[in-house]
A and B are shown apart, each in its own frame.
Chain A
Amino acid sequence: MDRIEKAICKALLPTLQLHGFELHKEWGYFVRKQAYGFDALLVVNQGTAKGRFFEIKCHAEIRHDHIEVPWNTLGLVYGEDNQQQTWTLLYKDLAGRNAEPMKVVPESMAADVAHVSQQVAELFVHMALPFYARFADLREVEEWVNKTPLADANPTAGGPMEDRAFHALLLAKAVNPSRYASIREAFITLDQGMFPRDKRMAMLQRVDEIQL
């Protein structure tokens, strides 16, 4: 965490503590422990690429250990601590792509931090909390992810093709086995991803073998 992220998180802490969130010092974001895993709110300083200001983005994520533990056996994430932080669903950029970016200008940092903190708090209340509530149920997650299998348009399922594919396969296999075959077929047909096809086929075989 840089000093801007810390300042915003410090301002957000009272609001989020009301909903059971705590700032995880090592991970650098707010976490609320749940029976299924945890809910998290990330406040990220994206740096100066957009000009002479820092752009702040806010993401919400939800983790279901029932899916993430087997998923992490695929070797997509390095390190045990990192594997404990993987998400099942990510609601990225709560403000939306078309929204005005949340800015912190060095010359007016204190005021900008207060303003951004207020914006994030509102996003948390109006966007993140409903997200956590809805997808606390794993069946809701499976329904959301596999409604259009491996769809690029699904914002919360975005990310590397392998991540989305194997989350979809594991969710279907865990919650809705009848859909597993169709998802598997879609994955075989869809020749995309960071890794070579033979490696992805080996990973698919690994998912096939996992007992959930």
Chain B
Amino acid sequence: MNIKSQKDFFAGLMFMGVGAAFAFGATTYSVGTGARMGPGYFPLMLGILLAVLGTAITFNALVVERVGGDKIGKWAYKPLFFIIAANLLFGVCLGGLPSIGIPAMGMMFGIYVLTFVSSLAETGMKIKATFILATVLAVISYVAFVQVLKLQFPVWPAFITG
């Protein structure tokens, strides 16, 4: 059997899987009846609906002819990895990871880490330009978020502020 639309085929599989997972999860809560809906009732209904929709989408993807096969194409692992990593490392800088002994480094340090790591997502990073960008962002963030909006951030590393 030929897959006529790769995008739809996998999207359908995803909906089927997620729908089934939600529906299955819902059965672990009390479902109840229409008049006395339990916490599982609505998610069970929706989960089944989503799985059915997913099946229909997958089926369509096998039957209905498309131009060019609707290929998914290459996955961009590099930007995916660096953008998400930049985000996660920023979180680590703000909160630290006490379980493995990484202290909170604060927002200012985090901004430099985030800017450098996310810049790696693009080929040909210029170190100097990235450094300037990080400094500009750090100043803007300090003025806007800390001074003006008075948001509660760990700004400096924990071992300096105590």
A binds B: no
Chain A positions near chain B (C-beta within 8 angstroms): none
Interface residues of B (CB under 8 A from A): none
